[in-house]
Structure 1
Amino acid sequence: MELRIALCQCDIAWEQPARNLARLEPMVAAAEADVVLLPELFATGFTLDPAGVAEGAGGAVVTALRRWTARYGKAVAGSVAVAENGRFYNRMYFVKPSGEFIGYDKRHLFAPGGEARQYTPGDSRAVVEYGGVRFLLLVCYDLRFPVWSRCRGDYDAILCCASWPAPRREVWRTLLRARAIENQCYAAGANRVGDDPAARYAGDSALVDFKGRTMAEAGGGERILTGVFDTEALAAFREKFPAWRDADEFVLK
């Protein structure tokens, strides 16, 4: 099974959801792919004041994603600031053309930047199957935590949306490849470019294969990056080099 993946590397207008959605829809429409991955908090930027922009689980941003997936016949994923039961979540959605959507609340909140003071962490992983490929959903800082990301035979590829600052760009590039190598999986990381009040973003969105090889990398600037994930090639490699069989047992608490 082959599935085409597109990463939309873009700038984000600060706390302007309508403007960002208007700019992103043409990119999603133009992406020649089955799955399109957007950056973290693509509708608002990495805001630490979610009260002003967060929406309910069925708000305008998710409604737009559902409209796009139905109109263009492709799945779309990315994270959104969500308000629910008096709390705020950095929630990654994976929306299918059928209108079905799955949410994953970012587990590891970036405490050094103040995210943990404003948002509530998630407590469960999310694996989504689409087009014969099983995707683990991760948001930005989650990428630093290999235990949370560990493949237990339950996924084929990682989708990671990010707002990863430029000063740590080499860490981003290294961790994408590390997670792919240690889990014998594909990895797709969509990062933003541009600036916000707190940081500058270099992009470096990338598609990485199960051997840690770069399939495609965006560098800087706005662009759409595409590649193909091949589950038959992945299965053959896992069978030929079954490092997964020697993985250590563990329990998350």
Structure 2
Amino acid sequence: MKVAALQTVLYWQDAEKNRAYFSELIADNADVDLIVLPEMFTTGFSMQPELIAEPADGPTLPWLQSLAAQHDCAITGSVAVADKGHYVNRMYWVSPDGHCHYDKRHLFRMAGEHEHYQPGSERKIVEYKGLRFCLQVCYDLRFPVFSRNRNDYDVLIYVANWPEPRRHAWSSLLTARAIENLSFVIGVNRVGEDGNGIPYSGDSAIIDFKGQPLASSRPHEPESLRATLDKTELMAFREKFPAHLDADDFSLKG
């Protein structure tokens, strides 16, 4: 499967401008099977959901559906959404065949996200073109139990607005998640500075099941990362090195 990870600047709290920008970027990368966008790609990581959140049936979902159908690919990324009386950081997965979503479970309390948004309660796995994808958002990366592979996915996706001062943690944890879960990992972060003056260096990466980079970005530069995910190679490695068979049993509680 061919994938593209779009490391970009984001226009602060300007959904219309961001959608126009991403329409062009998606068209430029339409020769792949999956395109991954950053966290809150229509607004930046804003703690003003009363200003920027859109309804669950708002403009971004049909826009994504139109682009997925037009370019015959899947597209994923997160958006601030108002749903059932509260706000969520919602990661959409849209393909020509349909759509689903995952609501961010772990809310970044150091920015007050837990005071403005409602956490999700369930993991989301989606299958597309023979690969199984686990959807995760930014701060979820720090909680390995929630993303532990129970032989239910092949690719772990993290979309993020992860600030530059913690870039070492971002890169280290992406690699760790790939190794411990015997899984491909796609980590997509933004670049530039947000409306609060917080800088982002990007450091987006596509990593294989051994923790080796298939593609990595230049810091601070808008860039489209490309890689091919080979399920045959993944399954061969899992058969040769079946560490997952020795994993501890556990269950998650809400």
Shorter-chain-normalised TM-score: which range? over 0.9
| Aligned pair partner of 1:24 in 11, 22, 25 | 22
Deviations 1:33-69 (A, max 9, x none): 1000000000000000011111111210111111110
Distance 2:147 2:102 in 1: 13
Partner residue, 1:44: 43
Distance 2:222 2:57 in 1: 28
Displaced runs of 4 or more, over 3 A: none
Question: Does the alignment pair 1:201 with 2:200?
Answer: yes
| CA positional deviation for 1:197 | 2.8
| CA positional deviation for 1:28 | 0.8
Partner amino acid for 1:234? Answer: L
Distance 2:85 2:133 in 1: 30
**TM-score using structure 1 length:** 0.97
Deviates more, 1:217-226 or 1:157-166: 217-226
Partner residue, 2:117: 119
Instruction: List aligned pairs for 1:219-234, cutoff 5 A.
Output: 219-220=218-219, 221-234=221-234
Distance 1:86 1:92 in 2: 18
Partner residue, 1:105: 103
**3-state SS of the aligned residue for 1:125?**
coil
| Aligned pair partner of 1:144 in 142, 149, 156 | 142
Partner amino acid for 1:184? Answer: L
| Aligned pair partner of 1:190 in 175, 188, 191 | 188
RMSD: 0.7
Deviations 1:192-232 (A, max 9, x none): 00101331100111000000001110122111111011111
**3-state SS of the aligned residue for 2:229?**
strand
| CA positional deviation for 1:112 | 0.8
**3-state SS of the aligned residue for 2:57?**
coil
Instruction: List aligned pairs for 1:1-253, cutoff 5 A.
Output: 3-31=1-29, 32-98=31-97, 100-198=98-196, 199-220=198-219, 221-253=221-253
Partner amino acid for 2:156? Answer: I
Identity %: 47
Partner amino acid for 1:44? Answer: T
The answer for unaligned runs of 5 or more in structure 2 is: none
Partner amino acid for 1:105? Answer: D
The answer for unaligned runs of 5 or more in structure 1 is: none
Deviations 1:155-186 (A, max 9, x none): 00011100000000111100110000000000
Partner amino acid for 1:171? Answer: A
Deviates more, 1:183-192 or 1:214-223: 214-223
Distance 2:144 2:189 in 1: 19
**3-state SS of the aligned residue for 1:168?**
helix
Deviations 1:59-110 (A, max 9, x none): 1011111111011111000000010121000000110013x11100000000
